[in-house]
Amino acid sequence: MSPRSYLSQELVRGDRPGTWVLPLTEDECSGAGRLFGGTGLGAAARALELDAGRPLVWATGQFISHALPGELLTFEVEMLAEGRATTQARARGHVDGRDVIAVVATLGRRDVERSGVWVEPPDAPPPMDCPPFPSRSATRSVSANLERRLIRGRTEAHEPAMDDGQVAMWVRVPDHLVVDPAFLAVLGDYVPWGGRDAVGGGLGGGQSLDNTLRVVDPVDTDWILVDVRISSLVHGYAHGTVHLWSEDGHLLATASQTCQFRNPRSSQEQS
């Protein structure tokens, strides 16, 4: 069986032009049982590419509300401006009219004579020389369904903070998937993990407010290095960047996010 694009079977055309429907299961959600933000952006990216007939350059999604397994996430795609090489577009993702994610994007391709990449991947051992990434969820979820290997980060709550704000892991590309913007959007959604590890214990779960994916050059690779760099976490909001690298050091995409954190609830508040 040939590899396919992420969500190419799950995302289906709606009953009106420019509409797409993603039936949500645990496989599209986080360990908390809600739509994984990167999956929402990835679904929008796939719908936009199909309707525009052009490859994604960048897309940014603002997360407005949660969506749950069993719900139907509907995307309404609109082409705003179509030029000879570039399309500007947007997509609205909602459940029964309740807004979940708002996406704006640029699609297209321009072949120019010169190009370059001026960032470098971190030093990292081969994937199989790294320990398994500790899963925080015992149920099916986007992250739990991926094989992950920890390069740099905390594994226990008592361990010291990563005081330079950098964490990294390897993620194996599932055999049935190709490396494309829809899948890369999922791996760009790891800033909350970096924020927690940057400051150590004493924070509750992080929640993404947005996710921006900037596509560089997706190529086939068995493993992707997820290189998370947190620039700040102040007043409960973390800003960070994710570089996504192939196993041989080729830059696939960059992503950036802002996420919010809370203090852990006391046992009295949880009851």
- Give the CATH number of the domain where residue 174 resides: 2.40.160.210
pLDDT (tens digit, 9 = 90+) per residue, 220-250?
999 999 999 999 999 999 999 999 999 999 9
pLDDT (tens digit, 9 = 90+) per residue, 101-142?
999 999 999 989 889 999 999 999 999 999 999 876 667 899
The Cα–Cα gap between 136 and 130 comes to: 18
pLDDT number for residue 263: 82
The helix (run of H) or strand (run of E) holding residue 203 is none
Residue 76 in any domain: the answer is: yes
Residue 117 in any domain: the answer is: no
Task: Examine the pLDDT at 271 and tell me if it is beyond 80.
Answer: no
What average pLDDT does the segment 12-21 reach?
97
| Average pLDDT, rounded, for the chain | 93
The Cα–Cα gap between 112 and 91 comes to: 29
The Cα–Cα gap between 46 and 54 comes to: 10
pLDDT number for residue 196: 87
SS3 162: coil
Residue 118 in any domain: the answer is: no
Task: Examine the pLDDT at 211 and tell me if it is beyond 50.
Answer: yes
What is the tally of structural domains in the chain? 1
SS3 62: strand
Beta strands in the chain (DSSP E): 12-13, 19-23, 56-63, 72-82, 86-95, 98-108, 148-152, 166-172, 207-208, 210-215, 223-234, 237-246, 251-260
Percent of the chain scored above 70 by pLDDT? 94
Residue 171 in any domain: the answer is: yes
Residue 52 in any domain: the answer is: yes
pLDDT number for residue 139: 76
SS3 174: coil
- Give the domain range for residue 166: 12-109+129-270
What average pLDDT does the segment 84-91 reach?
97
Task: Examine the pLDDT at 184 and tell me if it is beyond 90.
Answer: yes
Strands 98-108 and 210-215: unpaired
In this structure, how many other beta carbons lie within 10 angstroms of the beta carbon of residue 158? 7
What average pLDDT does the segment 139-163 reach?
90
pLDDT number for residue 202: 66
Residue 122 in any domain: the answer is: no
Residue 166 in any domain: the answer is: yes
pLDDT number for residue 134: 82
pLDDT number for residue 237: 95
What average pLDDT does the segment 163-189 reach?
96
pLDDT number for residue 270: 36
Give Cα separations from 127 to 149, 222, 238 (angstroms).
6, 10, 28
pLDDT number for residue 170: 98
pLDDT number for residue 267: 35
pLDDT (tens digit, 9 = 90+) per residue, 32-60?
899 999 999 999 999 999 999 999 999 99
